[in-house]
């Protein structure tokens, strides 16, 4: 903080960049975190103003890097920690956690629709 207890933009920026959010998610879809799922994660991470990291067994992958996310080798039943630091950390972690909860749009209804279209 600046002298005189007045906040500057730099002070506010420093504080906002220190906002952290963490969630633990479990992979429930049958395919694990494959390329399409990793692409959805990366799109959300790139669209945020926070640094996003996925962690599996102490291996870390930047949330904005599709191939590094896939390289974690996350399959059904595995758990990941989602970590974000920045101004919208809570929002981006919530959005990515929702992707996992929704099985990346690969729920039973979506699978049945794809089979019916084939």
Active site residue 34: yes
The DSSP secondary-structure symbol of 26 reads: E
Q: How far apart are CA 43 and CA 25, in angstroms?
A: 18
How many CA atoms are closer than 13 Å to the CA of 52, on its beta-carbon side?
30
Largest CA distance in the chain: 69
* CA-atom Rg of the chain in angstroms: 17
* 109 three-class SS: helix
**Catalytic residue, candidates 31, 34, 90, 94:** 34
- Could you give the residue numbers annotated as active site? 34
């Amino acid at each position: 903080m600046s002298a005189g207890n007045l906040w500057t933009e730099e002070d506010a920026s420093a504080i906002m960049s220190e906002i952290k959010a963490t969630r633990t998610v479990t992979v429930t879809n049958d395919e694990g975190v494959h390329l399409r799922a990793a692409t959805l994660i990366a799109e959300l991470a790139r669209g945020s103003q926070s640094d996003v990291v996925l962690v599996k067994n102490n291996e870390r992958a930047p949330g904005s890097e599709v191939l590094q996310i896939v390289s974690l080798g996350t399959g059904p039943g595995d758990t990941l920690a989602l970590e974000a630091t920045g101004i919208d950390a809570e929002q981006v972690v919530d959005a990515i956690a929702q992707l996992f909860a929704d099985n990346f749009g690969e729920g039973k209804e979506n699978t049945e629709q794809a089979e019916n279209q084939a």
